[in-house]
């Protein structure tokens, strides 16, 4: 599983149902790299409560659904360490140390905090500090690369800044002069920011209020068709790619390119000048359905078994071993204990 491979870490928080945006920016990327790296994939359930979750039973069900969905999408459990974040206490423990080395000003600049905090009246501190927990997730496993969508790039860059700061302060007491590894974000060339189908100026999100704006991984064919047919476009009747002038059409073209794994230029050439939006929508419907139908089938098969528990138990044990060693090293370096 490991050898001399570099490490990769990726996760999707169970804060709502997984969307085709999460698939394009997160899952798809992970699948592409999982064999090339010593890959760690986890369900960041502790991140999910940074925004209000009113029903703990639903959170628990969603964690299980996410885990089965990762497998259904093609995660190879023989190649990856797959686990649930809250089952590895070192994430939380390291996050505290890192919080004490992160500046308020840095966290105040996080655009995702600005976006999300504007949606709620009472904001928990966890929403503010969650990028530090994400840094701990990455740093514990010495992850070299972190596949993310465009919205998470800033958080990986923060993790990198924290690493540099910690290495500068404590690195000299470590073998090789380096306490932590600097992570690099891996951003998809196409599909790093899929937009909401009802408001193509906003990104598609798990927690969006209007379900018509998002395609969920377990949507059936009829729902996918309805959502894409009703996707907001414009009135000029010409198809071309321009994210500012034609956000709705450009989003559909991007979705097609990301899912059909076709270079965006080829897709643009193919659709450029087509006159009927219905023709474009039909092709997008076909490609989304063809990607999601096998995922759905596999998900409903897995859901009936306890296979996922076996995979998660094994993943937890490996993750715990690596993470607790790393945490013990750091806690002793910062001076904790006797
Ligand atoms: N619209 C998107 N297009 C491409 N990639 C996206 N990602 C999220 N939205 C899009 C990527 O999916 C992964 C999941 O990240 P996360 O679960 O940590 O949360 P997020 O980025 O906050 O995703 P959501 O869907 O917007 O969730 P909520 O609504 O809970 O905030 C990341 O790689 C992300 O970049």
Q: What is the DSSP string of 275-317?
A: --HHHHHHHHHHHHHHHHHHHHHHHHHHHTSSHHHHHHHHHHH
Q: Where do the CATH 3.40.50.620 domains begin and end in the chain?
A: 7-186+306-334
CATH number of 7-186+306-334: 3.40.50.620
Domain 211-301 CATH (choose: 3.40.50.1010, 1.10.3720.10, 1.10.240.10, 1.10.1740.10): 1.10.240.10
| Average pLDDT, integer, range 127-154 | 95
Q: Quick one: 77 exposed, middle or buried, by C-beta within 10 A (0-12, 13-18, 19+)?
A: middle
pTM of the model: 0.92
Tell me what pLDDT residue 284 has.
96
**Of 113-117, 141-145, 222-226, 299-303, the least confident:** 113-117
**Of 81-95, 187-201, 297-311, the least confident:** 187-201
Confidence of residue 94 (pLDDT cuts 50, 70, 90): very high
| pLDDT, greater one: 222 or 268 | 222
| Average pLDDT, integer, range 140-145 | 97
Q: Which atom of ligand 1 is nearest to the CA of 208?
A: 29
Does the beta carbon of 203 lie inside 6 Å of ligand 1?
Answer: yes
- The overall average pLDDT reported for the chain is 94
Task: Tell me if residue 203 is catalytic.
Answer: yes
Q: Where do the CATH 1.10.240.10 domains begin and end in the chain?
A: 211-301
Task: Tell me if residue 261 is catalytic.
Answer: no
């Amino acid at each position: 599983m490991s050898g001399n491979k570099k490490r990769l870490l990726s996760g999707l928080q169970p804060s709502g149902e997984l969307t085709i945006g999460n698939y394009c920016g997160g899952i798809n990327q992970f699948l592409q790299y999982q064999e090339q790296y010593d890959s760690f994939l986890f369900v960041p359930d502790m991140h999910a409560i940074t925004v209000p979750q009113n029903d703990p039973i639903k959170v628990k069900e969603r964690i299980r659904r996410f885990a089965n969905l990762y497998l259904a999408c093609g995660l190879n459990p023989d190649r990856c360490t797959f686990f649930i974040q809250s089952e590895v206490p070192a994430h939380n423990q390291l996050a505290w140390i890192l919080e004490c080395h992160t500046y308020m000003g840095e966290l105040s600049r996080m655009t995702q905090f600005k976006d999300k905090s504007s949606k709620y009246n009472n904001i928990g501190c966890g929403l503010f500090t969650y990028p530090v927990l994400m840094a701990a997730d990455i740093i514990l496993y010495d992850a070299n690369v972190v596949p993310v969508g465009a919205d998470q790039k800033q958080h990986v860059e923060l993790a990198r800044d924290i690493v540099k700061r910690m290495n500068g302060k404590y690195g000299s007491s470590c073998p090789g002069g380096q306490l932590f590894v600097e992570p690099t974000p891996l951003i998809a060339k196409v599909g790093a920011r899929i937009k909401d189908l009802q408001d193509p100026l906003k990104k598609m999100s798990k927690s969006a209020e209007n379900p018509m704006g998002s395609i969920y991984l377990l949507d059936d064919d009829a729902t996918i068709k309805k959502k894409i047919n009703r996707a907001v476009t414009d009135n000029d009747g010409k198809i071309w790619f321009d994210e500012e002038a034609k956000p709705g059409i450009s989003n559909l073209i991007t979705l097609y390119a990301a899912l059909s794994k076709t270079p965006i230029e080829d897709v643009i050439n193919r659709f450029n000048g087509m006159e009927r939006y219905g023709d474009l929508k039909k092709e997008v419907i076909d490609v989304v359905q063809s990607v999601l139908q096998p995922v759905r089938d596999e998900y409903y098969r897995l859901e009936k078994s306890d296979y996922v528990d076996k995979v998660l138990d094994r993943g937890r044990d490996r993750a715990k071993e690596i993470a607790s060693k790393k945490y013990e090293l750091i806690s002793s370096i910062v001076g904790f204990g006797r």
